[in-house]
Amino acid sequence: EDMIRDKDIRIGDYVIVHKAGDIIPEIVASVPEKRDGLQVPYVFPKVCPVCGMPLVRYPDEAHHFCINNDCPARVVESIAHFCSRDAMNIDGLSEATLEKFIGAGFIHEYADIFHLSGHKEVITEMEGFGQKSYDNLISSIETASHTTLPRLIYGLGIAGIGLANAKMLCRHFNYDLDQMRHCNVEELTAVDGIGGVLAQAWVDYFASEKNNEVLDHLLQEL
């Protein structure tokens, strides 16, 4: 948003682009002489396009966030992240498939993924799903039930906690998840690579009764 405003980039502009570094294209500026008066400034949305709740932009960050935990888009994205390669690595659960399963009421939280076999008859009749696709999915879910703590933590989607940070936290706390769930900001910032913002995001996540309940349900499946 800041770059768009500072460079006065408008909808419909012709722009000058160059390579920043080796690959990434960067817009340098618009071409004023190409403007015909029809170009209008781009205004970032103020509300989530899916649930209508206000969007939030945190200080010193570029992203705009929907903070509604029950937003349908956030639910799909969070479960898709949980299933991603560096997290639980579950093949066969694309966002489109997750939308179908969530819409059908099969998945409400992470633990429900490990009970999809209870919906076999319905799933195998879904468009794009047959017996083979179903078998592959269930096999992938079974494999995912045997995982590592860093993958699990990364899969929870705690703001700013990537796989590398998750590994460092696990090593620092000797893979003691209970201790990790109850540590404070000071204990977390003692970990190499964990600053105040990440530490606060971690503490805020585990301060939520709902988040802890979801994790407890999940741990019963792993």
Q: For the segment 163-188, what is each residue's pLDDT rounded down to a tens digit?
A: 999 999 999 999 999 999 999 999 99
Rounded CA gap, 4 and 99, in Å? 33
State mean pLDDT over 54-70. Answer: 88
Confidence label for 31 from pLDDT (cuts 50, 70 and 90) = very high
What long-range pairs does 23-28 form, CB within 8 A, spacing at least 24? 27/3
Which are the contacts of 176, defined by CB distance < 8 A and separation ≥ 6?
none
Q: What pLDDT, on the 0 to 100 scale, is given for residue 58?
A: 80
Kindly list the distances between the CA atom of residue 218 and the CA atoms of 51, 115, 212, 215, 222, in Å, as whole numbers in the listed order.
26, 11, 10, 5, 7
From start to end of the chain, where are the E strands? Answer: 10-11, 15-20, 24-30, 40-41, 55-56, 65-66
Model confidence, pTM: 0.83
Kindly tell me if the per-residue pLDDT of 52 is higher than 90. yes
Confidence label for 69 from pLDDT (cuts 50, 70 and 90) = confident
Higher pLDDT, 39 or 59: 39
Confidence label for 22 from pLDDT (cuts 50, 70 and 90) = confident
Closest by CA to 64, choosing from 107, 121, 1, is 1
Q: What pLDDT, on the 0 to 100 scale, is given for residue 59?
A: 80
Higher pLDDT, 47 or 63: 47
Rounded CA gap, 4 and 62, in Å? 11
pLDDT digits (tens, 9 = 90+) for 118-138: 999 999 999 888 899 999 999
Q: What pLDDT, on the 0 to 100 scale, is given for residue 60?
A: 79
Kindly tell me if the per-residue pLDDT of 21 is higher than 90. no
**SS3 state at 207:** coil
